[in-house]
Amino acid sequence: MINLEQIYKRYGSVSALEGLSLEVPKGCLYGLLGPNGAGKTTALRILCTLLAPDQGRVFIAGLDALADPRGARAQLGYVAQEVAIDKILTGRELLELQGSLYHLSAARSRDRIAALSALLGMEEWLDRRCGSYSGGMRRRLDLACGLLHDPAVLVLDEPTVGLDIESRAALWDVLQQLRQQGTTILLSSHYLEEVDALADRLAILDRGCVIAEGTPEQLKQQLGGDRITLRVREFASQQEAQRVQQIIQGLLGVSQVLINRAQGHAINFVLEGQGSEALVQLRQQLEHAQVPVFSLAQSRPSLDDVYLQATGRTLMDAELAAISSRDSKAEKKQAMR
Amino acid sequence: MFAPSAIAEISQETLALSKRLFLQLKRRPSTLVAGILQPLIWLVLFGALFAKAPIGLFPGGGSYGKFLGAGVIVFTAFSAALNAGLPVMFDREFGFLNRLLVAPLRSRYSIVLASVLYITSLSLVQSLAIMAAAWGLGYGWPGGAGLLVVIGTLLLLVAAVTALSLALAFALPGHIELIAVIFVANLPLLFASTALAPISYMPGWLGWLAALNPLTFAIEPIRAAYLGQFAFDAVVLEAPYGALTAAQCLLLLLVLSAGLFLSIRPLLDRKLS
């Protein structure tokens, strides 16, 4: 339903996408996971014909979006990250405007607005001006705008950023309903649990290309054994963590022993196979070396581990690095025509 | 050139986009009010400034107020049209334009067309209000045919200035820059025209500037209409480079607006594709 083939895009000297390819099957809820700056928004802008790629091809519902952008746009509902809403209009007026831009008849527009207003619970406030809406209300109205013309493909760019938990759950619910009705949905997110809970398939994006792709289950199973997080103190020192790291590296049936600075120098490692023997040994050795244990947690591999495995850093580390190197002025310029 | 369905779609888009602009105006009428208030103050204060000037001092034989009226009417329409780019600029900055650009618009010129419709109506309403005020102050009223001349002339000027302002809205980086340009352009263009004084009162260099200023080409036919002396072949402007008839002034305005719309097309094509 959606095909991106070998997309390249540069902004001046900065490369945003480096040969990105993506294939979303019909009726699939597809997650695009990656830290800020990985190229998610750029990829979605190219998909929605807002931005031309330097190289590569884009297909939506079988239409070549670069050759026939208007045809592709008609198939597409786009819910952008920055919610652009006219504060002076009421929600209903904005939806009516949207209906005219998609050439719906007045009657069809009215019916769709009524249906969406019931689906998204907007009846009470739809005739109030958008300026008075809360963040959750704006997001729902924005989603309604994207759905008004009943598109075959719905694209959402980080739809739950800044939403309260209730609004987020409501949004997830609506997305799942839409998927059941056969809408193909592509959503980007830097929330692991969101993609894990919602997506049928996902691609992990890092520095402008896909580094892993599959169903959440497949990706996690590929990683094999259980993940262990050991914290010797709530906030351990680097030296202490390194000492423990050495102890663990000496054990049998253990691999990928890393110090996680973002978690107060916790130590992450992977148990090969059953691995209960290694844990018993670990307990003994730690006691012997008089190292305290604050917590010891064991879990199946998560999507974060998938990300860690592929990039060598956790998503949170990548996120923090991205935030500090962010150039909001340049980003605004990219978004502006 | 277009199939009937295309025309229907373009008008659907354009009407919906204009409706949005008019709803904004209705709910936030400060632009409308300020656009009337400012020229009204000019009219009253400047009219009063030279109220005791001897009758006949100014061309046309009437009071200074009568002379001034045409200038302030043109200034009103000009200022309104100069702001045409502001809503577009805000849509660019707040991402609303992106909402329009992901929609399958039949023609993206609907966005431009809606702005032109909106700003033309706005500036005509403001100009008519100023004309009514000038009449109330005893500065005269053009007859039925004269009114047509005034409206026709204003439309030509508004078209040219709107094109310019829309081009700036797409070319400049943000609204601060756009407002700065509007601020800087506004008053000098008024002073370097025949709105406040005839060319014969000006030093040579200023006379040349005023005689090249498009505002002058709009002011003089309207002034002639107010004096009841309008005829297409009547000389309305004694410029340093020769005399211009009303028809020549209007033709210049027509060429200017057509030329501006043609020359901003590549910019609009680039920004809207």
The position carrying tokens 């809408």 is: A183
Mutate which of A76, A90, A103 to disrupt the B interface (most B C-beta within 10 Å)? A103
Q: A90 with A149, same domain?
A: yes
pLDDT tens digits, one per residue of A178-216: 999 999 999 998 888 888 889 999 999 988 999 889 998
Name the domain count of chain B.
Answer: 1
Low-confidence ranges of chain A (pLDDT < 70): 83, 274-275
**A93 to chain B: which residues are within 8 Å by CB?**
20, 23
pLDDT tens digits, one per residue of B169-194: 999 999 999 999 999 999 999 999 99
Question: Within a domain: residue A97?
Answer: yes
pLDDT band at B47 (very low <50, low <70, confident <90, very high): confident
pLDDT band at B1 (very low <50, low <70, confident <90, very high): low
Q: A216 with A243, same domain?
A: no
Give the span between the Cα atoms of A5 and A40, in whole angstroms.
Answer: 15
On average, the pLDDT of chain B sits at: 92
**Complex-level ipTM beyond the 0.85 threshold:** yes
The shortest C-alpha distance from A24 to chain B (Å) reads: 20
Contact of B175 with chain A, judged by CB distance below 8 Å, is answered with no
Q: A202 with A54, same domain?
A: yes
Mutate which of B9, B19, B92, B99 to disrupt the A interface (most A C-beta within 10 Å)? B99
What pLDDT was estimated at residue A268?
A: 86
What pLDDT was estimated at residue A125?
A: 96
Q: What is the mean pLDDT of residues B135-148?
A: 90
Give the span between the Cα atoms of A95 and A90, in whole angstroms.
Answer: 9
Q: What letter represents residue B249's amino acid? A: C
The shortest C-alpha distance from A249 to chain B (Å) reads: 52
**Given an 8 Å threshold on Cβ–Cβ distance, is B103 in contact with A102?**
yes
What single-letter DSSP state applies at residue B105? -
Q: A131 with A208, same domain?
A: yes
The shortest C-alpha distance from A256 to chain B (Å) reads: 45
Q: B210 vs A78, A166, B190, B240, CA distance in Å?
A: 51, 65, 9, 10
pLDDT tens digits, one per residue of B57-76: 787 777 888 899 999 999 99
**Given an 8 Å threshold on Cβ–Cβ distance, is A101 in contact with B271?**
no
Contact of B94 with chain A, judged by CB distance below 8 Å, is answered with yes
Q: A280 with A211, same domain?
A: no
Q: A249 with A181, same domain?
A: no
pLDDT band at B2 (very low <50, low <70, confident <90, very high): low
Which among A175, A200, A220 is the end of a domain? A220
What pLDDT was estimated at residue B23?
A: 96
pLDDT tens digits, one per residue of B78-101: 999 999 999 999 999 988 999 999
CB-based contact A302:A247 (threshold 8 Å): no
* Token pair recorded at residue A84: 């652009």
Alpha-helical segments (H) within chain A:
40-47, 69-74, 91-101, 106-119, 135-147, 165-180, 192-198, 216-222, 238-249, 276-288, 303-311, 315-324, 328-335
What pLDDT was estimated at residue A104?
A: 95
Q: A202 with A248, same domain?
A: no
Q: A85 with A139, same domain?
A: yes
Q: A51 with A76, same domain?
A: yes
What single-letter DSSP state applies at residue B196? S
Assign A81 to helix, strand or coil: coil
Burial (Cβ within 10 Å: 0-12, 13-18, ≥19) of residue A299: exposed
Give the span between the Cα atoms of A101 and B93, in whole angstroms.
Answer: 20
Which among A220, A252, A287 is the end of a domain? A220
Q: A243 with A289, same domain?
A: yes
Question: Within a domain: residue A336?
Answer: no
Q: A245 with A127, same domain?
A: no
| Option in A74, A85, A86 nearest B104 (CB) | A74
Q: Which residues pair with A210 in a beta bridge?
A: A205
Smallest CA-to-CA distance from A185 within A205, A157, A155, A145 is with A155
Q: Which residues pair with A57 in a beta bridge?
A: A5
Name the domain count of chain A.
Answer: 2
CB-based contact B65:B47 (threshold 8 Å): yes
Which among A220, A237, A272 is the end of a domain? A220
CB-based contact A229:A267 (threshold 8 Å): yes
Question: Within a domain: residue A287?
Answer: yes
pLDDT tens digits, one per residue of B190-226: 999 999 999 999 999 999 999 999 999 999 999 999 9
What pLDDT was estimated at residue A275?
A: 63
Domain that holds residue B224: 4-272
Domain that holds residue A125: 2-220
pLDDT tens digits, one per residue of B250-268: 999 999 999 999 999 999 9
What pLDDT was estimated at residue A274?
A: 66
The position carrying tokens 């003994």 is: A284
* Token pair recorded at residue B121: 């109506």
What's A213's domain CATH number?
3.40.50.300
Q: A169 with A295, same domain?
A: no
Q: What is the mean pLDDT of residues B33-43?
A: 94
